[in-house]
Amino acid sequence: MRAILSVSDKTGLVEFARGLVELGVEVYSTGGTHSALSAAGVPIHSLSDLTGFPEILDGRVKTLHPGVHGGILARRDRPEHLAELARHGLQTIELVAVNLYPFVETVSKAGVSLEEALENIDIGGPTLLRAAAKNFPHVLVVVDPEDYSPVIDALRAGTVAFEERRRLAQKAFQHVALYDTAIAGYLRTLAEGEKGPEKYQMLPQAITIGLRKRLDLRYGENPHQHAALYLDQSLPGQAGGIAAAKQLHGKEISYNNIVDAEAAWHAVSDFEECTVVVVKHTNPCGLASHPDQTEAYRRALAGDPVSAYGGIVAVNRPLSAEMAREMGSTFYEVVVAPGYEKEALALLQKKRNLRVLQVTGGTSGAGMQYRPVSGGALLQEEDREPDSELSLKTVTKREPTAEELRDLRFAWRAVKHVKSNAIVLAKDQALMGMGAGQPNRVTSVHLALRAAGERSRGSVLASDAFFPFPDGVELAAQGGVTAVIQPGGSIRDEEVIKAADEHGMAMVFTGMRHFRH
């Protein structure tokens, strides 16, 4: 029995190789793997002994040889294959253990050049794996160090079951597919700073998504659904966000916790100012920006203190001890921040069930969002239109005041994080009330006014899409709303504008909408 070992990850390598040698296996290897095993005193053969040919092109060509692939691909149940090997003086190979150059790790580092990235694209490794996996009834293929011990144990027992061989082959093909997906994703992005439509091929003709499991979850949205959390490796170098968050405290995180935490982190990441959000069932029920973090929290909580119970809090600054103390009287499921003051973390850790997440990086992979549908998937660019590029057009007789304009911009940024049909009321850069997910817009206005109560007076309103009728604006005026921001574009825009003018309201059009289905 002969085996080829060529691994980038040396975890468990020496023990695995020793186990093979003890079983009488002839072990062949290349490069760093050969050096590591030789240094550990493991009897090892150079792959050149098998091929009769040296490594060339700085090691780029070493396993691409009939002496290797003939021995792997020959079917043992076909006498003519074995006879052909014999005619050419070739031998069968029964085991291939390979894991690939660390491409993802390499391109995730800052300042990596294209040349360095290309040098870390493995060619021989994937070819070995695909060959061995294709012939898995006769050849064992191992890509994961966690499989070393089970394989050795099975070989000691005398045989490796067909089902196990098939599982290992599936794992090998998936390993290569994930690797190729990462390379393709990297090559779709050009050097940082380049401009133009070629900077990122957002919607190519064909695309694969590479996910690696980070952890199993107790269950999904409901206890009868299985669930797990995966890291997206389709675009190496884009690591971060909720999937990669570090849990500093609290009980096991759930599927719904993760969904809500993503909504919260997505919302606060959209603001440059110090901002705090309280999210319940993926919708912000409280949101505020203020230079003083604790004051921002107080204002966010005031948005809907009843709904805040059992919600998720996120802040886009390291969480202070003062804010942690202020949070003490309200029960939350999760708190999300880019960092925590030492005293703040100690205070939060006193709450046994509170999950404390530290998040770095962006909110999605290079601005792409995908959603499964039956039989396929939808892909789109993320809704990240820079606020600085927002051109507001006043359409009413009255221009908004400076204070109203500031709150209109805040409300417009907030409303895109609320499910359609979305209505947001804001004042002093804080959410006063919101209406979400309703079949008609006027109901959302009603809900936002009800949530705000008397605080709606003097507030501004943002609508994620145009008002199809003037009734929503008229209802807002009755609640004391003084200014409105909306996309415009309805066939009844003139009626809507007229209603605003009749109530002395200011209204601005954005020319774009923020649907969030």
User: CATH 3.40.140.20 region(s) of the chain?
Assistant: 242-358, 390-509
**Order of strands, sheet of 45-46, starting from the edge strand that comes earlier in the sequence:** 45-46, 26-29, 2-7, 95-99, 140-142
Which pair of tokens denotes residue 481?
A: 């709303």
Q: Is 393 exposed, middle or buried (0-12, 13-18, 19+ CB in 10 A)?
A: exposed
Token pair 């669930």 in the structure block, residue: 227
In contact, 345 and 249? CB cutoff 8 Å: yes
Per-residue pLDDT of the chain (517 residues; tens, 9 = 90+): 889 998 888 999 999 999 999 999 989 988 788 888 889 888 888 877 776 676 666 666 666 677 777 888 888 888 888 887 788 888 888 999 998 878 888 887 777 888 888 888 888 889 899 999 999 999 999 999 999 999 999 999 988 899 999 999 999 999 999 888 888 888 877 544 444 444 445 677 778 888 889 999 999 999 999 999 998 877 665 667 899 899 999 999 999 999 999 999 999 999 999 999 999 999 999 999 999 999 999 999 999 999 999 999 999 999 999 999 999 999 999 999 999 999 999 999 999 999 999 998 755 445 678 888 999 988 887 887 766 678 899 999 999 999 999 999 999 999 999 999 999 999 999 999 999 989 999 999 999 999 999 999 999 999 999 999 999 999 999 999 999 999 999 999 999 999 999 999 999 999 999 898 8
Catalytic residue chosen out of the listed positions 10, 199, 281, 503: 281
Q: Assign 3-state DSSP to the chain and report helix, strand, coil percentages, each to 5.
A: 40, 20, 40
| DSSP-derived secondary structure for 256-311 | HHHHHHHHHHHHHTT-SS-EEEEEETTEEEEEEE-SSHHHHHHHHHHT-HHHHTTE
Closest by CA to 369, choosing from 214, 271, 175, 232, is: 232
Answer whether the bond into residue 256 is a cis peptide, omega within 30°. no
C-alpha to C-alpha distance for 189 and 107, rounded to whole angstroms = 11
C-alpha to C-alpha distance for 235 and 366, rounded to whole angstroms = 7
Catalytic residue chosen out of the listed positions 134, 199, 498, 503: 134
Which pLDDT tens digit goes with each residue over 138-176? 999 999 999 999 999 999 998 889 999 999 999 999 999
Specify the pairing of strand 483-486 against strand 460-463: parallel
Instruction: Say if pTM beats, i.e. exceeds, 0.85.
Output: no
Q: Give Cβ neighbours of residue 156 (< 8 Å, ≥ 6 apart).
A: 23
Closest by CA to 13, choosing from 138, 206, 152, 189, is: 152
Indicate the class that CATH gives domain 242-358.
alpha beta
Rounded to whole angstroms, the maximal C-alpha distance in the chain is: 96
Which pair of tokens denotes residue 287?
A: 């949101």
C-alpha to C-alpha distance for 4 and 334, rounded to whole angstroms = 48
Say whether 34 is catalytic.
no
Say whether 195 is catalytic.
no
User: CATH 3.40.50.1380 region(s) of the chain?
Assistant: 2-187
C-alpha to C-alpha distance for 466 and 488, rounded to whole angstroms = 5
Q: Which CATH architecture has domain 390-509?
A: 3-Layer(aba) Sandwich (3.40)
How far, CA to CA in Å, does 26 sit from each of 49, 50, 81, 369? Answer: 11, 11, 21, 49
Per DSSP, the three-state class of 39 is: helix
pLDDT given for residue 477 in this prediction: 97
Radius of gyration over every alpha carbon of the chain, rounded to an integer in angstroms: 30
Q: What is the CATH code for 2-187?
A: 3.40.50.1380
pLDDT given for residue 365 in this prediction: 46
Q: At what angle do helices 124-134 and 66-73 cross, to 10 degrees?
A: 20
Torsion of CA 245, 251, 254, 257, to 10 degrees: -60
